[in-house]
A = this chain, B = another copy of it.
Amino acid sequence: MPKFVVTPWEVSGEVDYDKLVKQFGTRPIGQRLINRIKKHAGTVHPMLRRNIFYSHRGLDRVLSEHEKGNPFVLYTGRGPSGDTHLGHLMPWIFTKHLQDVFGSKLIFQLTDDEKFMFSEKLTLKNVEKHAYENTLDFIALGFDPKKTEIFTDTEYIKSLYKIAIKVAKRTTFSTTKAVFGFNNSTNIGLIFFTCIQSAPAFIESERQGRPVPCLIPCAIDQDPHFRITRDAAPHLGYPKPALMHCKFFPSLGGSDKMSASDPRSSIYTTDTPKVARKKIMNAFTGGRETIKEQRKRGGNPQVCSVYQYLAYIFEPDDKALLDQCERCKHGELLCGEHKQYLAEKVEQFLVSHQEKREKAKDVIEEFMVRD
């Protein structure tokens, strides 16, 4: 049985997503919930129908509130520890979809404090720079500046802190040991930090002085933080935030999560199309050792990073994706050709994204909130 570890600071091993749902105590997003969202969206987003956003907490309730005329705020974020890669964009793309469908206000937290305290080598200046660069990528996805607030923790701490200390008062070290695996040598900033990540889930309730529902789309590794948030909520008189969890964006190297530490395994939003193409042409696939063998036995799309890239983001057309899958399995679509196909899509995306990213520099201040 392959072992795997998923915490906000470590993802390793071959992740069994179904097991993770059981381990974390979340719920799978089933057809009934997908249909419920479809009623609002008119359509089903590829990340939902392909089971990429696959798990949730309290989604039913937040939808019911919305239907009763009590709209939810969306809250997601980013730990600014480095450049943005395509994996980071994935939950944001889905969040953009939710903002479009539900017309929601969106809060985007950049946890510069966390990344500074977690990393031995990162300075506050480093994380500030990363936060700026990450924000450009976020804005480039097309969020509505009238409905979107972005902040770094250190610049918005006055608004967060009073909420954070309410969560802290109700959270013991025991709990963080159990939830995050902390021990005696963990620094006390990281121990406290989860309260800062909790705060944005309650900030709209605090501002409006009434329980405002909140929905948090995020990768499944962030769930432990929000377990603490949800446990604290009733003690504080806030509603428990709902969650929608996604799987990790695949690595070009064939492991489960795109790794920021191995630049060859990830495509960064600032990679030139040429560099991106080269990374794709070197990607791990489900192909055979020889062309002859592949023609005969077919490839394996399930383990193929090229296929996964297309399924997660770059081939929204189900029919086209299925066709590629079938042709691969029957030895008709070879890896070289499939890589070319993906590279073209990624190149197009990067050219367009980098243009929008440049434009984001002019409007970033419309999004930022500071104390």
Contacts and interface: CB of A to CB of B under 8 A. Distances in A.
Interface of A: 113, 116-117, 124, 154-155, 157-158, 161-162, 164-166, 168-177, 182-192, 194-195, 371
A194 B188 CA distance: 9
A354 B113 CA distance: 44
A197 to B, nearest CB: 12
Given A154-B162, A165-B116, A165-B189, A177 B172 contact: no
A195 B184 contact: no
A169 B195 contact: no
A188 B195 contact: yes
A366 B187 CA distance: 37
A297 to B, nearest CB: 53
A371 B173 contact: no
A316 B182 CA distance: 53
A116 B195 CA distance: 15
A13 B169 CA distance: 28
A169 B187 contact: yes
Nearest to A124: B162
Given A124-B162, A158-B157, A117 B186 contact: no
A165 B117 contact: yes
Contacts of A173: 173, 182-188, 191
A31 B81 CA distance: 53
A117 B170 CA distance: 9
Contact of A161 (B161, B172, B183, B191): B161
A189 B195 contact: yes
